[in-house]
Amino acid sequence: MSQIDLQIPEVSIREIRLGSITGFQGSAKELVKCSRCGLRDKTRSFSQCLGCSTSHAACMVILIQDAAVISHGPVGCSSCYHEFAFTYRVNSPLRGVEHPGQRRIFSTNLQETDTVYGGEAKLASGIREVYERTHPHAIFVLTTCASGIIGDDVESVCDSAEEELGVPVVAIFCEGFRSRVWTTGFDAGYHGIARKLIKPARKRRTDVINVINFWGSDIFSDWFAPFGAKPNFITPYSTVECLEHSSESAATVQVCSTLGSYLGAVLEQDFGVPEIKTAPPYGVAQTDRWFRELGKALHKEKEAEELIVAKKAEYLPKIAALRRELEGKTAYVTAGAAHGHALLNVLGELGIRAEGAALFHHNPLYDNGSEKSDLLAQGVKDYGDVPNFNICNKQEFELVNTLNRLRPDLLLARHGGMTLWGAKLGIPSLLIGDEHFSMGYEGILRYGERILEVLENDEFVKNLEKHAVNPYTKWWLSQDPYRFLEKGAASAGGGGGSK
Amino acid sequence: MSNAGIRNAGIIEQERYTCAIGALQSVVAIPRAVPILHSGPGCGTMIQGFFERSTGYAGGSTSPCTNFSEQEVVFGGIDRLREIITNTYKVLDTDLQVVLTGCTSGIVGDDVDALAEEFRGQGKPIVSVETAGFKCSNLVAHSLVVNAIVDQYVSLFEEDNPSRSEKRTVNLFSSIPYQDPFWKGNLREYKRLLEGIGLKVHVLFSPESRGVAEWRQIPRASFNILVSPWYGKPIAEHLEERYDQPYLQFPHVPIGANETERFLRQVLAFAGEQDAALDEIAAGEFIRREREAYYGEIDNLATFLLEFRYGLPNHVHILHDAGYVVGLSKFLLHEVGIVPKEQFIVDNTPEEFRAQIEADLKSTSDRKTIPLCFEPDAGKAQDVIRSLRHKGRGLIIGSGWDKELAREKDYDFLSAAVPTPYRMVLTTNYVGFSGGLRVIEDIYDRVLATYR
């Protein structure tokens, strides 16, 4: 099953490694069914700006405390990274980083002549200069479309620099055009980290658990305390040294399988760290399962059961009370794959009916190959089917059309740019960036309370609706939302999913 | 400071501008126009991330994009682009479409111009422009975009818009949309000021523009006004060649009373040479009223500046584009009393314009030398500032990157350049008499906020 090979410089893209897709229409149940017999991706004959791999690889290395990052491309390919510098500074208190250092982000600033004569010499001298200016504990080099197409041998340049400078110089292959699934960029970043930074374990620790995550709040220190363990957050706010020894942890958990799929699997397969394969704890049933598997992996089943009982006694009555207030409301969800599934679970707990979802891609299974990680399949069993289930890589035109049709009571989003259209249509919209916010039993309560607040305070969106500017044609808004999506069966086996 | 050793094309840290395709924001700034990206996935989000809150009518997540994949890299992307453009007309309601190419298209060599021509043949208002990221910066590409629209769209309406047929009409080229965070407010203020002295103004971008209807009338203008040390110059030159329109160049951003008045008087004189026959008495009266209102405020302020005893900044380092560095330096020295120390132009100014810009800054004072450094590598500029020591309380005016530097040095900080996640600008202007007052408000608002 495993497609992981740390011997080769480039990570295999998700489309090939996992059979991931970016186009589907149908229901959640149909997608789950098709996923087991090989999904066939569909293209669109109209498309809008997507994200790309390079910025997704970037966010996983820029926030490492003591590293420097070089984007090997024209200046434009690193121009949104100041946002990660902002994130690093602003969220540092959540991780107890008292003096967040300035992020050191460079561009090789490729020019037209470099596309003719190659950019290798420039990269080599650039790495040296960055080392002199920053003295980092590691340097990450991100490739771009331009450096990829002109065929620079980035791996060799980085290897020579590493030998010369004596610090890891990690080539990360994340050219945008290689994959339509931009989360391939996470895999590319982790692939580089696993190849060049993570060292074989000197010993196995029982008191440290890897948490593959973004930059959210620390709920894990409290959660792990009863197990006598503490979190090792990777990779944001990690240090190069912590990453090197992440191979020694007792286990690895992920806050989002879309994010951590590759690294979780690598740490288990190549470094022997057991991965908690049960999908992250969103919703009551899933939280039960997750704590149980964690307890099992740490040989602390009793502590897990005690924790579950105590937390449920505290939170379930509150959740039930909240459910009474929210029962019967409808919502639409747009998010990345795994976190979208997570939000659907939380809605299920709160008694809110999901009218549909637009999730950015779909992985039939993750790198560990385990069905336990498939939160969508589990969610359909726990909470029932979700209609109007669309796999749509941030195609705003489909979202606008669908929302305009469904007019749910609420729009839930996980990524920037997606809530605007909910608001323009007068639909209360909520974006929670911190994926830890809705985790666990307490997360259901936190999230539900936020939803209630958003539903109660809809004056802003109702006013905006009256004055909203709309660039979409009347024709388009009266069409089937999937009009520009390729027709035909969704699975190689000819399963459902198409109209 | 000398500029020796500065390599335009070397590795850079903390870029304060973006690549050529960033000029898609100039399209977004035209009412009801849409950029269509023939580029890799991610180019649009990079630009969106650089400028932030820059979606406009059909930018950001709304902009169509071919999202190059391996297939287009190998086989070319023209068919894909044709399909995307065809469907753009069905899905989006727009007046002008501008196709911008990215690195991928540039390297594989798609003939986008021929395709745009094909759609123009069907009567579509579509323009193509090559903006591969490795070609140039967005400041340079802004001119490419404007000139492409002139050549491929405006030119189709020349019959109804005879060259230089309106004596008192001008086209204004000044702030680069979004790259100048105050572009929207600045264009509004330029328009108000120029109308105040009797001109009709095509600002072309922002809600102050009438959109494509205004663009079509570009040839009618008697002359062009370029407010810029270097960027946008190819536009003025192109229009001079194409429509015989002469242009007046004002080389820095006019902020405050001195430079705004100087700017307006130069325009008046130039308009006179072009037989605009403006009412000079009325124009002079307008300028007088503006100036008096301005000094009424400065009069109030002076007591504060002179007497506030708890500490105010006495010197400033600015990291900005050439127009702002010079414009702010002149303003702060003469009209606020903050002394410009080492200044940094981070817009990757082409070599041939540097001497002129240095001379313009030098003319600020015959008693003081203001050291100037052209340094697109803003990380390096920060290192220079780190190593400097000046007496008194300091102020840094720059982008969001400089907030940390200001904190390190315990300086006051005003965020006034991109990229910046630390400041919200909607329609504020820094240009003009009122812009000067706003700069003063912004500086002392931040200074006073440090007192708790």
Q: Are A414 and A405 in contact (CB under 8 A)?
A: no
Q: What one-character-per-residue DSSP string does A52-77 give?
A: -HHHHHHHHHHTSTTEEEEEES-GGG
- Phi first, then psi: what are they for B226, rounded to 5°? -115, 115
Residue in A145, A157, A179, A474 to test binding to B, most B beta-carbons within 10 Å: A145
Instruction: Name the residue in chain B with its Cα closest to that of A77.
Output: B46
Distance from CA of B8 to the nearest CA of A (A): 9
Contact B21 A76 (CB under 8 A): yes
DSSP 8-class letter at A94: G
pLDDT at A38: 82
Residues 6+ away with beta carbon under 8 Å from A158: A127, A141, A169, A170, A171
pLDDT at A416: 80
Looking at domain B161-278, does it have CATH number 3.50.50.60?
A: no
Q: Is residue A442's pLDDT more than 70?
A: yes
Q: What share of chain A is helix, strand, coil (3-state, %, to 5)?
A: 50, 15, 40
- Per-residue confidence band for B348, with pLDDT thresholds at 50, 70 and 90: very high
What's the CATH code of the domain at A289?
Answer: 3.40.50.1980
Contact A149 B103 (CB under 8 A): yes
Same domain, A270 and A306: no
Contact B93 A472 (CB under 8 A): yes
Separation CA A218–CA A346 (nearest Å): 20
Give the global pTM. 0.96
Q: Are B436 and B256 in contact (CB under 8 A)?
A: yes
Same domain, A316 and A406: yes
pLDDT digits (tens, 9 = 90+) for B383-439: 999 999 999 999 999 999 999 999 999 999 999 999 999 999 999 999 999 999 999
Residues 6+ away with beta carbon under 8 Å from A324: A351
Residue A351 belongs to a domain? yes
Q: Are A124 and A160 in contact (CB under 8 A)?
A: yes
Q: Is residue B6's pLDDT more than 50?
A: no
pLDDT digits (tens, 9 = 90+) for A24-82: 999 999 999 999 888 899 999 999 999 999 999 999 999 999 999 999 999 999 999 99
Beta bridge partner(s), residue B200? B169
Contact A47 B64 (CB under 8 A): yes
Contact A106 B20 (CB under 8 A): no
Q: For chain A, give the percent of residues with pLDDT over 90.
A: 94
pLDDT digits (tens, 9 = 90+) for B83-109: 999 999 999 999 999 999 999 999 999
Which of B64, B72, B419 comes nearest A48 by C-beta?
Answer: B64
The continuous run of DSSP H or E covering A330 comes out as strand A330-335
- Partners of residue A73 in chain B, C-beta under 8 Å: 103, 133
pLDDT digits (tens, 9 = 90+) for B198-240: 999 999 999 999 999 999 999 999 999 999 999 999 999 999 9
- Phi first, then psi: what are they for B377, rounded to 5°? -85, 90
Separation CA B364–CA B367 (nearest Å): 9
**Average pLDDT over every residue of B278-303:** 96
Tell me the CA distances in angstroms from B88 to A168, A484, B34, B158, B160, one per residue in order. Answer: 46, 11, 9, 27, 28
Instruction: Name the residue in chain A with its Cα closest to that of B23.
Output: A76
Residue in B45, B101, B105 to test binding to A, most A beta-carbons within 10 Å: B45
Query: Range of A252's domain?
Result: 208-294
Q: Half-sphere exposure (CA, 13 Å, Cβ side) for A19?
A: 16
* Interface pTM, i.e. ipTM: 0.96
Among the listed residues B196, B220, B266, B443, the one whose alpha carbon sits nearest the alpha carbon of residue B338: B443
pLDDT at B333: 98
Q: How many residues does chain B have?
A: 452
- State the CB neighbour count (10 A cutoff) for residue B229: 28
Residue in A43, A46, A48, A62 to test binding to B, most B beta-carbons within 10 Å: A48
Domain boundaries for CATH 3.40.50.1980 within chain B: 20-136, 161-278, 288-449
Residue in A20, A49, A483 to test binding to B, most B beta-carbons within 10 Å: A49
Q: For chain B, give the percent of residues with pLDDT over 90.
A: 96
Q: Is residue A477's pLDDT more than 50?
A: yes
pLDDT at A495: 43
**Average pLDDT over every residue of B22-47:** 97
- Partners of residue B75 in chain A, C-beta under 8 Å: none
Residue A175 belongs to a domain? yes
Same domain, A326 and A223: no
- Span B20-136: which CATH code? 3.40.50.1980
Mean pLDDT of chain A: 95
Residues 6+ away with beta carbon under 8 Å from A437: A216, A217, A443, A446, A447, A450
Which of B68, B91, B104 comes nearest A46 by C-beta?
Answer: B91
- Partners of residue B73 in chain A, C-beta under 8 Å: 149, 177
Q: Are strands B394-398 and A330-335 parallel, antiparallel or unpaired?
A: unpaired
Q: Is residue B1's pLDDT more than 80?
A: no
Mean pLDDT of chain B: 96
Q: For chain A, give the percent of residues with pLDDT over 70.
A: 98
Same domain, A240 and A367: no
- Partners of residue A106 in chain B, C-beta under 8 Å: 11-13, 379
Same domain, A98 and A124: yes
* 3-class DSSP state of B348: coil
Please give the angle made by the CA atoms of A130, A133 and A139, to the nearest 5 degrees: 35
- Partners of residue B60 in chain A, C-beta under 8 Å: 49, 417
Separation CA A427–CA A407 (nearest Å): 7
Q: Is residue A1's pLDDT more than 60?
A: no
Q: In sequence order, what E strands does A46-173 have?
A: 67-72, 104-107, 138-143, 169-172
Same domain, A335 and A473: yes
Given A242, A276, A294, which residue is the final one in a domain? A294
Same domain, A305 and A397: yes
**Residue listed under structure tokens 């020579």:** A160
Residue A484 belongs to a domain? no
Q: Is residue A438's pLDDT more than 70?
A: yes
Peptide bond connecting A231 to the previous residue in cis, omega within 30 degrees of 0: no
**Average pLDDT over every residue of B352-374:** 97
Instruction: Name the residue in chain B with its Cα closest to that of A114.
Output: B134
- Phi first, then psi: what are they for B378, rounded to 5°? -70, -25
Which of A102, A111, A125 comes nearest B134 by C-beta?
Answer: A111
- Per-residue confidence band for B280, with pLDDT thresholds at 50, 70 and 90: very high
Instruction: Name the residue in chain A with its Cα closest to that of B382.
Output: A102
**Average pLDDT over every residue of A138-153:** 97
- Partners of residue A113 in chain B, C-beta under 8 Å: 9
Contact A77 B90 (CB under 8 A): no
Contact B104 A48 (CB under 8 A): no
Contact B134 A52 (CB under 8 A): no
CATH class of B288-449: alpha beta
Among the listed residues A275, A288, A345, the one whose alpha carbon sits nearest the alpha carbon of residue A315: A288
Question: Taking the alpha carbons of A463, A466, A471, A476 in that order, is the dihedral positive or negative?
Answer: positive
Contact B63 A144 (CB under 8 A): no
- Per-residue confidence band for A115, with pLDDT thresholds at 50, 70 and 90: very high
Q: Are B112 and B130 in contact (CB under 8 A)?
A: yes
- Per-residue confidence band for B349, with pLDDT thresholds at 50, 70 and 90: very high
Same domain, A342 and A437: yes
Same domain, A213 and A151: no
Separation CA A75–CA B12 (nearest Å): 8
Which of A79, A133, A484 comes nearest B15 by C-beta?
Answer: A79
Q: Are A67 and A193 in contact (CB under 8 A)?
A: no
Contact B13 A106 (CB under 8 A): yes
What's the CATH code of the domain at A461?
Answer: 3.40.50.12380
- Partners of residue B47 in chain A, C-beta under 8 Å: 76, 79-80
Instruction: Name the residue in chain B with its Cα closest to that of A418.
Output: B61
Contact B379 A106 (CB under 8 A): yes
DSSP 8-class letter at A256: -
pLDDT at A491: 78
Q: Describe the strand order of the beta sheet including B126-129 as a list of residue ranges.
A: B33-38, B96-101, B126-129
pLDDT at B4: 38
Separation CA B55–CA B31 (nearest Å): 12
Tell me the CA distances in angstroms from B215 to A163, B135, B144, one per residue in order. Answer: 57, 26, 15
Sequence letter at residue B187: L
The continuous run of DSSP H or E covering A21 comes out as none
Given A250, A266, A294, which residue is the final one in a domain? A294
- Per-residue confidence band for B309, with pLDDT thresholds at 50, 70 and 90: confident
Which of A102, A110, A484 comes nearest B134 by C-beta?
Answer: A110
Peptide bond connecting A235 to the previous residue in cis, omega within 30 degrees of 0: yes
pLDDT digits (tens, 9 = 90+) for A408-430: 999 999 888 889 999 999 999 99
**Average pLDDT over every residue of A186-196:** 98
Distance from CA of A133 to the nearest CA of B (A): 9
Q: Are A215 and A63 in contact (CB under 8 A)?
A: yes
Which of B11, B57, B63 comes nearest A106 by C-beta?
Answer: B11
Sequence letter at residue A415: H
Q: Are strands B166-173 and B200-202 parallel, antiparallel or unpaired?
A: parallel
pLDDT at A493: 56
- Partners of residue B421 in chain A, C-beta under 8 Å: 82-83, 86
Residue A384 belongs to a domain? yes
Same domain, A93 and A164: yes
Which of A45, A82, A105 comes nearest B400 by C-beta?
Answer: A82
pLDDT at A492: 67
Q: Are B347 and B305 in contact (CB under 8 A)?
A: no
- Phi first, then psi: what are they for B95, rounded to 5°? -95, -20
Looking at the structure of chain A, the number of domains it has is 3
Same domain, A104 and A67: yes
Separation CA A271–CA A197 (nearest Å): 12
Residue in A69, A109, A141, A420 to test binding to B, most B beta-carbons within 10 Å: A109
Among the listed residues B287, B288, B242, B255, the one whose alpha carbon sits nearest the alpha carbon of residue B268: B287
Which of B41, B90, B137 comes nearest A51 by C-beta?
Answer: B41
Q: Is residue B2's pLDDT more than 80?
A: no
pLDDT at B7: 44
- Partners of residue B45 in chain A, C-beta under 8 Å: 49-52, 55, 80
Distance from CA of B102 to the nearest CA of A (A): 9
Among the listed residues B270, B273, B359, B291, the one whose alpha carbon sits nearest the alpha carbon of residue B322: B359
Query: Which of A479-483, A489-493, B430-434 has the least mean pLDDT?
Result: A489-493
Contact B421 A54 (CB under 8 A): no
Residue in B6, B12, B13 to test binding to A, most A beta-carbons within 10 Å: B13
Same domain, A414 and A467: yes
Contact B57 A469 (CB under 8 A): yes
Q: How far is CA B194 from the centre of its chain?
A: 18
Q: Are A228 and A205 in contact (CB under 8 A)?
A: no
**Average pLDDT over every residue of A189-194:** 98
Cβ-based contacts under 8 A for chains A and B = 237
Separation CA B405–CA B386 (nearest Å): 8
Contact B41 A107 (CB under 8 A): no
Separation CA A254–CA A283 (nearest Å): 15
pLDDT digits (tens, 9 = 90+) for A268-326: 999 999 999 999 999 999 999 999 999 999 999 999 999 999 999 999 999 999 999 99
Distance from CA of A451 to the nearest CA of B (A): 25
- State the CB neighbour count (10 A cutoff) for residue B318: 28
Q: Is residue B3's pLDDT more than 70?
A: no
pLDDT digits (tens, 9 = 90+) for B231-263: 999 999 999 999 999 999 999 999 999 999 999
